[in-house]
Amino acid sequence: MLLIKRNRDLILVISAFLGTTPLQNPVHAGEKTIIAHRGASGYVPEHTLEAVAMAHAFGADFIEQDVVLSKDHVPVVLHDIDLEPVTDVATKFPIRKRADGKYYAIDFTLAELKSLNVHERVDPKSGNAFLTNRFPAKSGQFQIPTLEEELQLIQGMNHSRQKSIGIYPEIKSPGFHRNAGVDISKIVLEVLKKYGYSTKQDLCIVQCFDWSELKQIRKLGYQGRLVFLMGGRRMKLDETSEPVDFNETTMREIAKVADGIGPALQLVADQKYKPTNLVADAHKAGLIVHPYTIRTDMKRPGDTNPANMFKVILDDAGADGVFTDQPDAGVNWKNSRTK
Cα–Cα distance measured from residue 166 to residue 176, given in angstroms and rounded to the nearest whole number = 27
What are the backbone dihedrals phi and psi of residue 291, each rounded to the nearest 5 degrees, phi first? -70, 160
Rounded distance between C-alpha atoms, residue 37 and residue 293, angstroms: 7
* Beta carbon of residue 335, minimum distance to Ca ion (angstroms, whole number): 25
Site membership for Ca ion, residue 170 (CB under 5 A): yes
Q: How far is the CB of 320 from Ca ion (least distance, A)?
A: 17
From the list 27-35, 61-69, 88-96, 327-335, the region that binds Ca ion by CB under 5 A is: 61-69
CA 328, CA 36: separation in Å to the nearest integer?
A: 9
# binding residues, Ca ion (CB under 5 A): 2
Which among 16-24, 106-114, 162-170, 196-204 is the span making contact with Ca ion, rule CB under 5 A? 162-170
Decide whether 66 or 325 has the Cβ nearer to Ca ion: 66
* 66 makes contact with Ca ion (CB under 5 A): yes
Kindly report each contact of residues 186-190 with a partner whose C-beta sits within 8 Å and lies 24 or more positions away, as own/partner. 186/220, 187/69, 187/73, 187/75, 188/67, 188/75, 188/147, 189/217, 189/220, 189/222
Q: Which is nearer to Ca ion, 35 or 112 (CB)?
A: 35
Cα 10 from chain centre:
29
Quote the least distance from Cβ 72 to Ca ion, whole Å.
23
Parallel, antiparallel or unpaired: strands 75-77 and 225-230 = unpaired
- The count of C-alpha atoms lying within 13 angstroms of the C-alpha of 332, restricted to the half-sphere facing its C-beta, is 9
**Longest C-alpha distance within the chain, in Å?**
65
Nearer to Ca ion by Cβ, of 66 and 213: the residue is 66
Q: What mask, x for binding Ca ion by CB under 5 A, covers residues 102 to 121? A: --------------------
The one segment of 59-67, 86-94, 265-273, 281-289 that binds Ca ion by CB under 5 A: 59-67
Q: CB of residue 78 vs Ca ion: minimum separation in angstroms? A: 10
The contact pattern for Ca ion, residues 3-42, with x = CB under 5 A and - = no contact, is: ----------------------------------------
Tell me which of 28, 37, 56, 290 is the catalytic residue.
Answer: 37
Q: Is 159 a catalytic residue?
A: no
| Whether the Cβ atoms of residue 22 and residue 31 lie closer than 8 Å to each other | no
3-state helix, strand, coil in the chain (%, to 5): 35, 15, 45
Name the active-site residue from 28, 47, 56, 79: 79
Q: Which stretch binds Ca ion (CB under 5 A): 125-133, 157-165, 166-174, 283-291?
A: 166-174
CB 39 → Ca ion: shortest distance, Å? 11
Nearer to Ca ion by Cβ, of 170 and 281: the residue is 170
For residue 323, the minimal CB distance to Ca ion (Å) is 8
Conformation bin of residue 188: beta by default, left when phi > 0, alpha when psi is -120 to 50? alpha
At position 336, the amino acid (one-letter code) is S
Position closest to Ca ion via CB:
170
For residues 112 and 147, which CB has a smaller minimum distance to Ca ion in the complex?
A: 147
Instruction: Tell me whether residue 21 or residue 205 sits nearer to Ca ion (CB atom).
Output: 205
204 sits in the region (left: phi over 0; alpha: psi -120 to 50; else beta) called beta
Phi, psi at 5, each rounded to 5°: -65, -40
Q: How far apart are CA 133 and CA 139, in angstroms?
A: 14
Q: Is 290 a catalytic site residue?
A: no
Which residues are catalytically annotated? 37, 79
Task: List interacting residues with Ca ion (CB under 5 A).
Answer: 66, 170
